[in-house]
Structure 1
Amino acid sequence: MTEVAIRKVAVGDVVANRRRGGEIRVVLGPQTAGAKTGFLGVLTLGAGEFVSEHYHPYSEEFLYVTKGSLVVRAAGEPITIECGEGVLVPKHMPHRVENPGTETAEAVFHLCPLAPRPELGHVDTEDLPNPDHAQLSVQERS
């Protein structure tokens, strides 16, 4: 029997990716925890911020709001998700996440299964708000 290590990762130890908008932090994934089948992270959107429209050709996305409320535009249709509610975005469905409110909103997201390579996991269908933002690994910023 092979032993598998359990890895604990704190959200504060993960650098935010801001390329698509807001703060996206993959807390448990291949790079942070050695995950093989998917990843889980935290999304923080300030008032008026958004994550640009994209889709996942290999993964479903689960999004659960933990603070405030968000609007998910799935295939152009707005779906309001309040704190304590979640939504499942099927693979191949274009979606955009917005915070139209006046306070910061937070959500937990999970995508699975993984794409064969990280660069194949997202297909952007809208201009990125921060295309030059480079995400540094925890090791690179230390």
Structure 2
Amino acid sequence: MTSTQQKLKVNIEEAAANRKRGGEIRVLLSPRTVGCTSGFGGFVVLQPGEYISEHYHPYSEEFLYVVEGEFEMTVDGTVFALKEGDSLLVPINAKHRLVNRTDKVARGVFQLAPLAPRPELGHVDTEAPPNAGPNPDVGGGK
């Protein structure tokens, strides 16, 4: 498939909201959605009091950019207060947890790279996820 035939654009409404780990995570650009091979990215929304449960990525760095509101990210025990316009790097193997401790919605854009060798190896929970459901699958063919 050439780049002119390959899907390259994804609208946020096309991406299913995954709430397994808390909050709302939408994977937009991934091997499954657009056939990318170097990483994946998406959008996170946390309502007041919501969080993304603690986890780590054994193969990937995570990049977070705050679009709106405020987050608190704990990375290996260090707490980072993040406001609109801030970016944060989460290193490979660093345990991290994202929280909205304010009374306003918080929105952010994230990217992880490089990809794990297989999707099931990309994400390790260190805290019980608050909701039932399958893990987000970003890999595989379309």
Question: What is the TM-score with the length of structure 2 in the denominator?
Answer: 0.90
**Could you tell me which amino acid in structure 2 is paired with residue 128 of structure 1?**
P
Q: Which amino acid letter does the alignment assign opposite residue 26 of structure 2?
A: R
1:136 Cα shift?
8.9
The alignment status of 1:13 with 2:14, answered yes or no, reads yes
Question: For residues 111 and 86 of structure 1, do their structure 2 counterparts lie closer, same or farther at Cα, with a shift above 3 Å needed?
Answer: same
Match of 1:53 in 2: 54
What RMSD in Å do the two structures reach over aligned CA positions?
1.7
Task: State how far apart, in whole Å, the 2-side matches of 1:114 and 1:136 are.
Answer: 14
What is the aligned partner in structure 2 of residue 140 from structure 1?
Answer: none
Percent identity between the aligned chains? 48
Match of 1:133 in 2: 133
2:85 is matched with: 84
User: What TM-score do the two structures reach when normalised by structure 1?
Assistant: 0.90
Cα offset, 1:6, TM superposition: 5.4
Q: Secondary structure at the match of 1:12?
A: helix
**Cα distance, 1:76 vs. partner?**
1.5
Distance 2:68 2:136 in 1: 26
The alpha-carbon distance between structure 1 residues 86 and 78, as it changes in their structure 2 partners (threshold 3 A), is same
Structure 1 ranges of 4+ moved more than 6 A = none
> Against the structure 1 CA distance between its residues 135 and 94, is the aligned structure 2 distance closer, same or farther, given a 3 Å change threshold?
closer
C-alpha displacement of 1:16: 0.7
